[in-house]
Amino acid sequence: MSLGLDDGLAGGTGAEAGGQDYLDGNALAGPLSEFSAGDLTVAEGRCENCGMTGVLATTRVYAHAPGMTARCRGCGSVLLRLTEAGGRTVLDLRGLSYLSIKRD
Amino acid sequence: MGIISSGFRGRRNKDQPGLPPGQYLTESFPVLSAGPTPRIDTAEWEFQLTTETGQSHSWSWDEFQNLPQEEFTVDIHCVTSWSKFGTRWKGVSLDTFFQDVDTSHPYTMFSSYGGYTTNLPMEDILNGKAWIVHQFDGEDLEPAHGGPARLLVPHLYFWKSAKWVRGLRMMDRNDPGFWETNGYNLHGDPWLEERYW
């Protein structure tokens, strides 16, 4: 199963999608740069709950909260949580079976 | 890049009585959420309390409505720095839910429809400190604000006041919940600025 780039979620801006209460996964690019010099939003991940795969840019990101929560577009499960809290950035990836990125 | 979204731009007033350190006062009621808003039919709603023995106590919506109701006004404080004074609620004290419950565990984990969790010590939810509320400002609580019912623990940061609450289980240790595992304080007292790890 693959996450397609349909329903206007992969606009590359991190903007709120179609009046929904979530952003597209490109919104993760800035804070994830704390962990990698490369762009992790192009990394492919697998949802631990339903097995759907896709790049982080296609996840649904809920950002009107104490941190950012990226959810699977297939089942809605939490894939990733990212907070900037007390001078540290905290990343929880337990909802992902893996993250994969192609080497040049 | 700051990633915390408070949903609000307000005015800081260090001399404002009742305003904890580092907070701004707002007249609006920002909506914060880590996921989509669940729509829960009150015919399906249930609140369940599970003790360390595995015994469950549950209340349907009608049973919840028939419990002694309290109306009260409190200030609320969000960890993203907004505070709102004089919010008016109606609901049932946690003391009422625990009246016939036999437990010796000192901690609780509340859970919500949608999967959110937050941990709370018993000493922070009993003796008139916490409620399950279903009305705000004289109206049924809107889904965006946690309706049909949410936890309200106004003396702690508002992430502790779990929206769409569906139950709690007793714990013998203070395990962290959704945000507490990810950088936020296990307790969350706004007057002590217990925001982070």
B chain contacts of residue A90, beta-carbon cutoff 8 Å: 182-183, 197
Q: Output the CA–CA distances (angstroms, integers) from residue B139 to B26, B68, B148, in the order listed.
A: 20, 18, 11
Instruction: Check if the beta carbon of residue A18 is closer than 8 Å to that of residue A4.
Output: no
Instruction: Check if the beta carbon of residue B26 is closer than 8 Å to that of residue B84.
Output: yes
B chain contacts of residue A87, beta-carbon cutoff 8 Å: 196
Residue A8 lies in a domain: no
B chain contacts of residue A68, beta-carbon cutoff 8 Å: 3
ipTM value: 0.88
Tell me which H or E stretch contains A77. Answer: none
Per the omega criterion (within 30 degrees of 0), is the bond before B148 cis? yes
Confidence class for position A10, pLDDT limits 50, 70, 90:
very low
Residue A49 lies in a domain: yes
Q: Is the pLDDT of residue B188 over 50?
A: yes
* Chain segment A61-84, per-residue pLDDT in tens: 999 999 999 999 999 999 999 999
Average pLDDT, chain B: 94
Can you list the pairs that B7-12 forms with residues at least 24 positions away whose Cβ atoms lie under 8 Å?
B7/A64, B7/B31, B7/B32, B7/B80, B7/B82, B8/B80, B8/B82, B10/B81, B10/B82
Residue A12 lies in a domain: no
Residue A85 lies in a domain: yes
* Domain span holding position A96: 23-100
Residue A15 lies in a domain: no
Residue A72 lies in a domain: yes
Predicted TM-score of the model (pTM): 0.89
Q: Which residue in B1, B3, B180, B186 has the most chain A C-beta atoms within 10 A of its own C-beta, making it the best mutation to test that interface?
A: B3
Residue A2 lies in a domain: no
* Chain segment A21-33, per-residue pLDDT in tens: 899 999 999 999 9
Give CA–CA dist B90/B83, Å, rounded: 20
Q: Does A14 touch chain B (CB under 8 A)?
A: no
Q: How near does any CA of chain A get to the CA of B36, in Å? A: 7
Q: How near does any CA of chain B get to the CA of A68, in Å? A: 7
Q: What are phi and psi of B51, to 5 degrees?
A: -90, 180
For chain A, what is the domain count? 1
Could A76 and B36 be called an inter-chain contact, meaning their C-beta atoms sit closer than 8 Å? yes
Q: Does A7 touch chain B (CB under 8 A)?
A: no
pLDDT at B5 (0 to 100): 52
Q: Is the pLDDT of residue A17 over 70?
A: no
Could B3 and A63 be called an inter-chain contact, meaning their C-beta atoms sit closer than 8 Å? yes
Minimal Cα distance from B81: which residue of A? A66
Q: Does A51 touch chain B (CB under 8 A)?
A: no
Q: Is the pLDDT of residue A52 over 60?
A: yes
Q: How near does any CA of chain B get to the CA of A100, in Å? A: 23
What is the CATH code of the structural domain delimited by B43-192?
3.90.420.10
**Closest Cβ–Cβ partner in A30, A62, A90 for B1:** A30
pLDDT at B13 (0 to 100): 57
Q: Is the pLDDT of residue B169 over 80?
A: yes
State the average pLDDT over residues B162-187. Answer: 98
Instruction: Check if the beta carbon of residue B69 is closer than 8 Å to that of residue B130.
Output: no
Give CA–CA dist B152/B150, Å, rounded: 6
Residue A10 lies in a domain: no
As beta bridge partners, residue B24 has B12, B82
Minimal Cα distance from A28: which residue of B? B3
Average pLDDT, chain A: 84
